[in-house]
Amino acid sequence: MSWSIFIQFYLWHNSLKRWVEQPLSLLSKLVVAALLGLLGALVVLGLKELGTQLDMRLRDREILLVIISESVPKEQAIAEIEGFETSEKYWNHLGNEVSTLFQTAAAAEMQTGKRIPVVAVQKPESHGMVDDFYLLTQGAFENTIMPFKLQNQRSEAWARPITGDMDILFRGRDVLVGSVDRLSGVLIGGFTRTTILRAGSVNDVQKIHDIVDAANRIEDKRMHVQSNLRILRELEKVKALQSRSLLLVSFLSSLVLGLVFGSLAWMEFREARYLLALIRSFGVGSVTLLVHAILENCMLAVGGVLLGFGVLELFVSQVNLVALKLTWLNSPDSFYTKEGCLLVLGAAFGGLLSCIPIAVGLRKPLGLVLK
Q: Which helix (H) or strand (E) holds 193?
A: strand 191-199
Work out the mean pLDDT of the chain and round it to a whole number.
Answer: 78
CB atoms < 10 A from the CB of 205, how many?
25
Alpha-carbon distance 269 to 297, whole Å? 12
Q: What is the pLDDT of residues 107-152, one digit of tens each?
A: 999 988 899 999 998 878 877 788 889 999 888 888 889 999 998 8
Angle, CA of 62, 64 and 70, to the nearest 5°? 105
Q: Is 368 exposed, middle or buried (0-12, 13-18, 19+ CB in 10 A)?
A: exposed
**Residue 231 clears pLDDT 50, i.e. is over it:** yes
Domain ranges in the chain are: 2-58+235-370, 65-227
- In this predicted model, what pLDDT tens digit does every residue of 244-287 receive, in sequence order? 777 777 777 777 777 777 777 667 666 666 556 666 665 566 67
With vertex at residue 153, the alpha carbon angle to CA 149 and CA 154, rounded to the nearest 5 degrees, is 55
